[in-house]
């Protein structure tokens, strides 16, 4: 008997993972894990348990009525969790909060394995967890800063399935995490909460354009590693924009993916007009028309709010309408992230 991993993504950004047998309905698997997904009848009649399957394959059977789920809704990816039986790993968007489903964020511990500074721009933090935490490539966790009762949010730069967890952290003078990392020691135990966020790699069906601003590169490293393992021939272009030359970190990691992924290309852009970099300015000034593929492209963007706003305006001004546009804004020293 096979079982599959089901990611339940709630409206408040919380993600919970459950194992569901191939002869088991998703609603029952969630209940078995003490997650009360919305339901009234559990018989395919009321439609209360309707969710959206964002990826994966499954069987809905025929034990539901059209009033609960129309054929058009089913073709559009809507499912009844009281009828849905998976035949692969699946990602399901649940149209309510985790609290409404009597669940919440998960916590786990990890220990500091390595701290690698990159000039005055960023710090790579590597942690070892006892077990590989489940998350979707692109998601983040809140890491408690020891001794102060506060946390900071960082995207995984490592891929799911690893016990060695990677994070790319912007070095901020006077920043809470930056100060702590200056004196942190290998072996220190940290508490993490997550995974969190609606910014993650969806099911890949067309070319991808990845736009990274500064340490917004982190989630794309996770996505690229996942693609290298599962879809190495996928066409992907990454544009990595920074303010200064010194902010260009982990370029060697990107170059390594260019060797592993035959259809992966990338470019770097520096905003500083005094830079000697061959591409100066903003990422919107170095976005080749061919990577937009006439709009048949999925765009992922992670960067500071001005960058996100500039890219959105660029698409509006040029009339470009990507098939999908997923973005995450981040602001230094702010625990919460905004994603769409």
At residue 258, the 3 state secondary structure works out as helix
DSSP string, 115-126: EEEETTTEEEEE
Q: Round to whole Å and give the CA distance between 51 and 8.
A: 10
216 falls within a domain: yes
User: Helix count (H) and strand count (E) of the chain?
Assistant: 7, 19
* Rg from Cα positions in the chain: 21
pLDDT digits (tens), the chain, 340 positions: 899 999 999 999 999 999 999 999 999 999 999 999 999 998 999 999 999 999 999 999 888 998 899 999 999 999 999 999 999 999 999 999 999 999 999 999 999 999 999 999 999 999 999 999 999 999 999 999 999 999 999 999 999 999 999 999 999 999 999 999 999 999 999 999 999 999 999 999 999 999 999 999 999 999 999 999 999 999 999 999 999 999 999 999 999 999 999 999 999 999 999 999 999 999 999 999 999 999 999 999 999 999 999 999 999 999 999 999 999 988 765 444 666 6
pLDDT of residue 334: 47
Same domain as 306, residue 277: yes
**Which of these, 181, 186, 273, 260, lies nearest to 226 by C-alpha position?**
260
Domain total of the chain: 3
Q: Are residues 55 and 161 in the same domain?
A: no
Same domain, 239 and 176: no
With residue 310 as reference, give the H or E element that holds it: helix 305-318
Q: Report the CATH number at residue 217.
A: 3.40.50.80
Report the C-alpha gap between 39 and 48 in whole angstroms: 5
Show Cβ contacts of residue 226 under 8 Å, excluding neighbours closer than 6 positions.
137, 159, 160, 201
Torsions phi, psi for 86 (to 5 deg):
-80, 150
Domain enclosing residue 299, as ranges: 208-339
Tell me if 201 sits within 8 A of 231, measured CB to CB: no
Strands 324-329 and 298-303: parallel
Please state the length of the chain.
340
Give the DSSP H or E segment for 260. helix 251-260
Residue ending a domain, choose from 131, 166, 196: 196
Q: Cα dihedral angle (288, 329, 310, 204), rounded to 10 degrees? A: 30
Say whether both 329 and 220 belong to one domain: yes
Strands (E), 61-139: 78-80, 85-86, 90-94, 107-118, 122-129
Q: Do 320 and 213 reside in the same domain of the chain?
A: yes
Going by their DSSP bridges, the two strands 50-55 and 90-94 should be labelled as antiparallel
- Give the C-alpha separation, 91 to 321, whole Å: 25
Give φ, ψ of 315 to 5 degrees: -65, -40
Half-sphere exposure at residue 282, Cβ-oriented, CA atoms within 13 angstroms: 12
Residues 64, 83 within the same domain: yes
Residues 272, 278, 280, 286, Cα dihedral to 10°: -150
Phi, psi for 78 (deg, rounded to 5): -75, 145
Q: What is the CATH number of the domain that holds 152?
A: 2.40.30.10
Nearest to 24 by CA among 14, 16, 32: 32
Q: Is 304 among the domain residues?
A: yes
pLDDT at 3: 95
Q: pLDDT at position 336, please?
A: 46
Question: What does the block give as tokens for 305?
Answer: 């709010």
Q: What is the pLDDT of residue 332?
A: 65
How far the first Cα of the chain sits from its last, in Å, is 37
- Strands of the sheet with 107-118, listed across from one edge: 150-155, 140-145, 189-196, 107-118, 122-129, 164-170
pLDDT of residue 63: 86
Angle between helices 218-230 and 251-260 (to 10 degrees): 20
Q: Within a 10 A sphere around the Cβ of 13, how many other Cβ atoms?
A: 21
- Of 71, 101, 131, the last residue of a domain is 101
- Tell me, yes or no, whether 217 and 232 share the same domain: yes
pTM (global) more than 0.85? yes
Q: What is the CATH number of the domain that holds 25?
A: 3.10.20.30
Do residues 251 and 335 share a domain? yes
Strand, coil or helix: 8:
strand
| Whether residues 224 and 334 fall in one domain | yes
Token representation of residue 19: 């194992």
| Nearest of 35, 171, 50 to residue 106 by alpha carbon | 35
**Residue 227: predicted pLDDT:** 98
H or E stretch at 270: strand 264-270
């Amino acid at each position: 008997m096979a079982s599959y991993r089901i990611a339940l993504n709630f409206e408040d950004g919380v993600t919970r993972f459950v194992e569901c047998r191939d002869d088991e309905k998703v609603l029952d698997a969630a209940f078995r894990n003490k997650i009360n997904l919305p339901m009234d009848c559990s018989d395919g009649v009321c439609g209360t348990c309707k969710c959206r399957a964002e990826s994966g394959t499954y069987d809905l059977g025929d034990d539901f009525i059209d009033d609960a789920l129309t054929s058009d809704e089913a073709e559009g990816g809507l499912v009844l969790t009281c009828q849905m039986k998976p035949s692969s790993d699946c990602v399901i968007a649940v149209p309510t909060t985790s609290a409404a489903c009597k669940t919440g964020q998960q916590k786990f511990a990890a220990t500091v394995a390595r701290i690698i500074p990159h000039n005055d721009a960023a710090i790579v933090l590597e942690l070892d967890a006892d077990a590989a935490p489940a998350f979707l490539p692109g998601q983040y966790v809140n890491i408690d800063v020891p001794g102060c009762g506060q946390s900071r949010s960082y995207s995984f730069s490592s891929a799911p399935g690893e016990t060695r967890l990677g994070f790319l952290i912007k070095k901020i003078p006077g920043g809470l995490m930056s100060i702590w990392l200056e004196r942190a020691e290998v072996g220190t135990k940290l508490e993490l909460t997550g995974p969190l966020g609606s910014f993650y790699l969806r099911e890949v069906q067309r070319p991808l354009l990845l736009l990274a601003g500064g340490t917004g590169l982190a989630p794309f490293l996770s996505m690229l590693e996942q693609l290298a393992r599962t879809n190495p021939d996928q066409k992907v272009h990454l544009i990595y924009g920074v303010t200064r030359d010194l902010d260009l970190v982990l370029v060697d990691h990107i170059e390594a993916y260019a060797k592993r992924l035959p259809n992966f290309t990338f470019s770097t852009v520096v905003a500083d007009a005094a830079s000697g970099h061959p591409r100066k300015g903003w990422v919107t000034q170095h976005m080749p028309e061919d990577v937009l593929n006439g709009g048949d492209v999925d765009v992922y963007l992670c960067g500071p709010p001005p960058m996100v706003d500039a890219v959105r305006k660029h698409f509006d001004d040029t009339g470009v309408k990507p098939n999908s546009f997923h973005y995450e804004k981040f602001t230094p020293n702010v625990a919460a992230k905004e994603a769409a």
